[in-house]
């Protein structure tokens, strides 16, 4: 993809996500993505009903009347976007390539975070980590992240989520809201997920394309695994083969979701072109981040 095409797509994403960012998604982001802990704001005179543990005893003793500390919720949050750039993500038959759809979702999340004065970081990973952009604030920073997602050289081979999560935990110590975008075709460790969810809030977003789930009956077809390079012929008119393929995909999807949920991580499925804002809002409403 040429630079001018990347710039064009980034602008398109900003326009498409503007309405989602400023409406329902923005409101749910504020209510669900709470910062960590409380910070001191001011001292005021005690009022009936105030908690005794909030009393500022030093000022109370000095003025001979009760004063309480007013605490303010810390709103600033760090959001980490972990994007799988294995070759299977450079595929799409419906709305767009999966990586372009991921960029759009990241745009909505990123602009919501920017409007909330939060920091956003990015890790592009496959069989190894290819790009790390530390968390920063601001619209221009989000536009830069989207450019990186769109312009990445998507890699053959299996993606290594375990190593990516370990790296993130070693480098970024502050508790963050971590979004992982992938089709989760490769293996990963439940133990690593459990360790991650003890330190961070983790949401896995699996991106799917309709043709990956259900193969149409089109006769003999040559299939090419873009990650391994393997090629093989299949008679797609064979109803038994199509049924087994669909059931295998369903079971694989179920297994992946169970591993994440058993690890106390969030998990949602989004097909390319679906209303991802609805799926995110539903998750935010059900899962308040603390």
For 144, the 3-state DSSP assignment is helix
Banded pLDDT at 209 (limits 50, 70, 90): confident
- Tell me the C-alpha distance between 190 and 171, whole Å: 21
* CATH classification (class only), 3-32+75-206+260-286: alpha beta
Enter the pTM of the model. 0.77
Q: Tens digits of per-residue pLDDT, 156-183?
A: 888 999 999 999 999 998 889 999 999 9
Please report, for residues 2, 19, 26, 166, 237, the alpha-carbon distance to residue 188 in angstroms, rounded to integers and kept in the order given.
Answer: 34, 36, 32, 12, 34
- Tell me the C-alpha distance between 141 and 66, whole Å: 46
pLDDT on residue 290: 47
pLDDT on residue 220: 82
Which of 105 and 96 is assigned the larger pLDDT? 105
Q: Mean pLDDT, to the nearest integer, of 62-80?
A: 78
111: Cβ–Cβ under 8 A, 6 or more apart, which residues? 14, 17, 18, 21, 139, 142
Banded pLDDT at 21 (limits 50, 70, 90): low
Domain ranges (residues) in the chain: 3-32+75-206+260-286, 38-73
């Amino acid at each position: 993809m040429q630079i001018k095409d990347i710039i064009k797509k980034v602008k398109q994403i900003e326009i498409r996500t503007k309405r989602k960012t400023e409406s329902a998604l923005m409101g749910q982001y504020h209510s669900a993505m709470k910062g960590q802990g409380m910070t001191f704001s001011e001292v005021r005179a005690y009022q009936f009903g105030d908690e005794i543990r909030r009393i500022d005893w030093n000022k109370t003793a000095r003025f001979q009347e009760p004063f309480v500390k007013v605490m303010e919720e810390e709103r600033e949050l760090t959001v980490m976007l972990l994007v799988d750039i294995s070759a299977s993500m450079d595929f799409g038959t419906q709305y767009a390539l999966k990586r372009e759809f991921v960029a759009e979702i990241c745009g909505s999340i990123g602009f919501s975070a920017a409007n909330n004065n939060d920091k956003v970081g990015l890790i592009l990973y496959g069989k190894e980590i290819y790009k790390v952009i530390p968390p920063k604030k601001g619209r221009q920073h989000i536009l830069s992240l989207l450019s990186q997602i769109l312009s990445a050289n998507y890699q053959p081979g299996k993606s290594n989520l375990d190593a990516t999560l370990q790296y993130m935990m070693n480098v970024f110590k502050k508790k963050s809201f971590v979004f992982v975008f992938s089709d989760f075709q490769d293996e990963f460790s439940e133990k690593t997920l459990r360790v991650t969810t003890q330190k961070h809030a983790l949401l896995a977003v699996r991106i799917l394309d309709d043709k990956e789930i259900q193969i149409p009956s089109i006769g003999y077809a040559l299939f090419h695994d873009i990650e391994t390079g393997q090629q093989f012929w299949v008679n797609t008119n064979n109803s038994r083969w199509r049924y087994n393929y669909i059931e295998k995909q369903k079971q694989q999807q179920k297994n992946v979701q169970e591993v994440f949920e058993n690890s106390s991580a969030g998990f949602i499925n989004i097909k390319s072109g679906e209303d991802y804002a609805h799926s995110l809002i539903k998750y935010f409403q059900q899962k308040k981040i603390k």
